[in-house]
Amino acid sequence: GMTVPEEYGGLGLGITSYNRVLEAIGARCGSTAVMVSAHQSIGCKAIMLFGTEEQKQRYLPKVAREYLSAFCLSEPQVGSDAAGQETWCKLSDDGSHYILNGEKKWSTSGALSGMFTVMSKQRRDDGDVVTALICTPDMDGVEIFEKNRSKTGIRGTWQARIRFNNVRIPKENLLHGEGKGLKVALTCLNFGRCTLSAGITGAARQAADQSTKWVQTRYQFGRPLAEFELVQERIAGMAARIFALDAMLYIMTGMLDRGDDDIMVETAMTKVFCSQVGWEVIDESMEIMGGEGYMTENELERLWRDSRIFRIVEGSNEVMQPFIFAYGGKQLAEQMIGIQEALGWDGDESVLGNMSRFMRNAFNPKVAARAIPLAAELFMGYRPSAPDIDGISGELRPYARRLADLVRRHANMFKLASKWYRDEIVTRQAVQARLADSAIYLFALSASLSKMDSLIREGATGVGFDRDRTAFEHAFDLFELRIEDRLRSLKKNADSSMLKAASAARAWNDTLPNELFYIHESSPNAAGTGKNVDTEAIRQFPGDDAGKREGAGAVENGRTEDVDVTETTSESA
């Protein structure tokens, strides 16, 4: 109950303090970090944020001290599309309860939890909406038919499949109101994306410290590995990335602690950056430790396995990139559409109507103030001046100017890309990803500059500050190069040959028999035609019958007294 308010039996920690705990946990056990995050960041977070006082009184003391909670969003057919729920609920004729039907997948700790936050599609006369409900495993019709599956990493976690068969949910278990479930889900995911970022930041820091210690003390050719330049390149890169990870994570938690509005883009950028760059650190650590890093007794391989999932969960990075592009560029898109509607030629309108509208708007000062600078930038090569970044320590002003110039160039290239690709940009995800990556690295540099400025103002000194200062400088160089690469490739890239090669590879794959490969269970065109899943999976838990999925069974009513946690932990590393 770290984040549960004290009046409900929790510790009442702020988001920053909570994430520092998650970072420390992530350095030691990715499974525990994921389990804690699933419980406190998304499982019961909806009640803390949107619950009624009665709901808080009823559930928060229990989730603080007695049992876990689970977040039920994903389904066999629903992964990244949170709005596409197939689990559905309907208000009963007498209005006393909701009838819930459907199936949920990947519910972390679902088989061990005493409470579920369930997203469902509600059928109403005025249209379908997403509604959030509080459900408990002791309700009639709740079936946990698969408590866990064997995994590559985070083996200490349990991911359940839960079936709801005409479950009667009391109306007082409605969260935030009918039709507001999507807001509930996306808001909770903001917190979940931060805590997952904290977990991998801790893991990356631990991996870097371990691998650097290894190459400092491992000798080849008569000297430490750390004296070789290619190894130093990796050591410096890890230090730079960790500085940026820390800076970005905690500037984000500060926003959450302040209660800033509309931060979905920032949390998405934090999640993408931390999961990708954190993985890079851990993978680099594996490389410089060599064969010994791959061995289980040195623990690095567990950090390596556990960290791979972070790029997939809480919205895969490939889904987050187009979202960052679309949501982050919404203001520019609205501005350009407005100018187009005011001054553009409409083929469905008469010549007289077009001319009248053009003349009327061309002399409108508000329209001109927006249209003239944009037209100059798009068609005449005009480059606006870089924004001012004030209040920075004198010794950091060169970095502030570099950052400001990168911001100017990013904004200019965003507009030019919109001009080059026009309507096609809506479907060009490779282009969207480059612009999203550029924005993500700009956020990382901004956070890093802010952190270094704070350290200087605090009077930080010593070997720790020397490490941070040089890491900051190297991070600036590294991510500046990445931004330049992403912006340059908006115009010069391999997209044309990529699309042709992908099409040819897909055509070749269609000639291969389905029965030789695994096919998704809910595939609309190939379900049931693929290779049979090997149910004799790797044994991970004392109660999983050597990993047989059909023997998973259920934990009755969320009770965990029959689970030997000590044995589970020791066997699941």
Radius of gyration of the chain (CA): 26
Q: b/e string for 206-234 if b means 16 or more Cβ within 10 A? A: bbbebbbebbeebeeeeeebbeeeebeeb
Give the strand pairing for 68-72 and 88-91: unpaired
Please tell me whether residue 554 adopts helix, strand or coil conformation.
Answer: coil
Distances (CA, A) of 459 to 138, 165, 397, 558: 57, 62, 17, 51
What stretch of H or E contains 360? helix 351-362
Question: What are the φ and ψ backbone dihedral angles of 284, each rounded to 5 degrees?
Answer: -65, -40
Nearest 10 degrees: CA dihedral of 255, 256, 262, 268?
90
Cα 415 to Cα 403: distance, rounded to the nearest angstrom: 19
Decide if 407 contacts 480 (C-beta within 8 A).
no
Give the strand pairing for 113-122 and 129-135: antiparallel
Give the strand pairing for 88-91 and 113-122: parallel
Q: Which residues are catalytic?
A: 314
DSSP string, 97-113: EEEEEEEEEEEETGGGE
